[in-house]
Amino acid sequence: MTVPQILYVSAFLLILIGLYSLLTQRNMIRMIIGLNIADLGVNLFLVTIGFVDNGSAPIFRAQAAAAGPMVDPVPQALVLTSIVIGFGVTALALTLVMRLFVTHGSIDTARIRGLKW
């Protein structure tokens, strides 16, 4: 297997693990952790799309002008955005869980009436 293939498989596995924990966990903090794992998988997938054989980081240096190919900078910039948005979503979700604990006294979805499935 080549490096990108290993990274694609890892990214898909991370997404699947995250979604599985979102579906099966009842503790909301664990669901948020699952969301974060899936988020990581998506980020890894995006970065891997820009991979180039023997590519270096897309940073120009003054001396070594022709030092070989560089990887794609666009997915990396997108992932930078994605990480920040992921942080915002996580902070908001954790605050919602805090609020839910105050109003319902539990963060177990099975014990909160109206959230059971």
Partner 1 sequence: MRKLIGILLIGGFAFYLITVGMGLFSAESRSELDSVGSEILATSPDLSGAANTVTAVVVQYRGFDTLGEVTVLFASALGVSMLAMAIRDGLLQDLFDDDGGFVLQAGSLALLPFIVLVGIYIVLHGHLSPGGGFPGGVIIATAVFVVILTSKTLSIPRGLINVLETLAGLGFLAIGFVGLYSPAQSFLANILPKGEFGSLLSAGFIPVIYAIVAIKVASELINIISKLTAAGSASREAAE
Q: Which residues bind partner 1 (CB under 8 A)?
A: 2-5, 8-9, 12, 15-16, 19-20, 23-24, 50-54, 57-62, 69-74, 76-77, 80-81, 83-85, 87-89, 91-92, 94-96, 98-99, 101-102
* Number of Cβ within a 10 Å radius of residue 31: 20
**CB of residue 45 vs partner 1: minimum separation in angstroms?**
9
Cα separation, 73 vs 63, in Å, equals: 21
**CB of residue 111 vs partner 1: minimum separation in angstroms?**
14
Q: Which two tokens stand for residue 116?
A: 């059971």
* Number of Cβ within a 10 Å radius of residue 32: 19
